[in-house]
Amino acid sequence: MNMTPPVSRNVSQSGLLKHHLQSVHDALKDDLQGTLPAYIPELAQADVHTFALSITLPDGETVQVGNTAKTFTLQSLSKPFSYLLALQTCGFDAVLQAVGTEPSGDPFNSIRLEDRKSRPDNPMVNAGALVVAQMLLEKHGSSAPSEVQGWFERVLGHPVHLNPQVLQSELQTGHRNRAIVHLMRNLGMVQQDPEEVLTFYLQLCALQVQVKDLSLLGALLAGSGRHPISGQQVVSQEVVRQVLSVMFSCGMYNSAGDWACKVGLPAKSGVSGGLLAVAPGKLGLAVHSPSLNTHGHSHRGVLACQMLAQRLHLHLLDAWNMEGQA
């Protein structure tokens, strides 16, 4: 696969995007509200000043500003992609039987499973992502971690590393996830060794990217599965539509409704402070800023997406193009 990004062919569009990214960055750079996730001690040491934004267009062109060299772990940003891989390798029927597509209205780490005995609500909350991890584990056995890592590496065009400190930190303190996976084992939603499922899920959460990698993954989804740089169809349109639909309804957990009104794009956040929003046919937008709001989303990430969605006319329910024309 030729992974050389194309030479900019639309200077005015990338210039405009750069201008908007820079102005949103400048407007929010001193806003240090929010908190770091204390339940993962390694993430609680992040530098709250870090702030980076990136946009990748479906033709592979990337525009970025801020502390773009910093790496961060995917955390829940891995969930849309493990779901994508499960749909691709296990098929829709098997995946939909194991995990639903309904917003739960609950936080990402909700343990409320007893009244929904057959399957977790959706693959964006931890319970659903643990079941998706189990499916990939069942399919690939002990090579599951390298299969998923390899997929990210092929798409991103460079090595993707797992952060061992973050993995250890979560393995040691992840009592809530441990409780969820054991409860699901008890309810029959998980059939494999709960500790193995948990470890694999946390390995996916501990994969590291830069903000430009996240926006490229967004551009892959925005381009209906066509790779932004190689132009190859690497994911089927049907799978991308399913992933984006679930991101739209469930990706922002119990703030999905507010997000739909204010941003109007499929999205996913991670407790490392990464946030990905996808404007189908237009762009992938990624933000990295570690301080989180009460829903576990990057505080500045949410504000930046709101501002950019408005400035670039990205809300899916508006019949406008990026120049603001109907």
Binding positions for ligand DON, rule: CB under 6 A? 75-76, 108-109, 126, 170, 177, 205, 269-271, 296-297
Q: Give the C-alpha separation, 251 to 119, whole Å.
A: 18
Question: Which is closer to ligand DON, CB of 109 or CB of 242?
Answer: 109
Shortest approach of ligand DON to residue 171 CB, angstroms? Answer: 10
Question: Which is closer to ligand DON, CB of 225 or CB of 296?
Answer: 296
Question: Which is closer to ligand DON, CB of 174 or CB of 225?
Answer: 174
Question: Which is closer to ligand DON, CB of 61 or CB of 170?
Answer: 170
Element (H, E) at 47: none
Question: Which is closer to ligand DON, CB of 23 or CB of 168?
Answer: 168
Shortest approach of ligand DON to residue 203 CB, angstroms? Answer: 10
Shortest approach of ligand DON to residue 261 CB, angstroms? Answer: 19
Shortest approach of ligand DON to residue 13 CB, angstroms? Answer: 31
Q: Give the C-alpha separation, 38 to 249, whole Å.
A: 27
Helix and strand numbers (H, E) in the chain are 12, 7
Element (H, E) at 176: helix 175-187
Shortest approach of ligand DON to residue 268 CB, angstroms? Answer: 8
Shortest approach of ligand DON to residue 324 CB, angstroms? Answer: 31
Question: Which is closer to ligand DON, CB of 76 or CB of 224?
Answer: 76
- Coil, helix or strand at residue 283: strand
Instruction: Find residue 279's DSSP bridge partners.
Output: 283
Q: Which residue has the tokens 């995990």?
A: 99
275: left (phi over 0), alpha (psi -120 to 50) or beta: beta
Q: What does the CA dihedral 174, 177, 179, 185 come to, rounded to 10 degrees?
A: -130
**165 with 98: CB under 8 angstroms?**
no
Question: Which is closer to ligand DON, CB of 75 or CB of 163?
Answer: 75
Q: Give the C-alpha separation, 184 to 129, whole Å.
A: 12
- Coil, helix or strand at residue 101: coil
In the structure encoding, which two tokens stand for residue 105, read together?
């209205």
Residue type, 60: G
Q: Give the C-alpha separation, 156 to 2, whole Å.
A: 11
Shortest approach of ligand DON to residue 105 CB, angstroms? Answer: 16
In the complex, residue closest to ligand DON by CB? 76
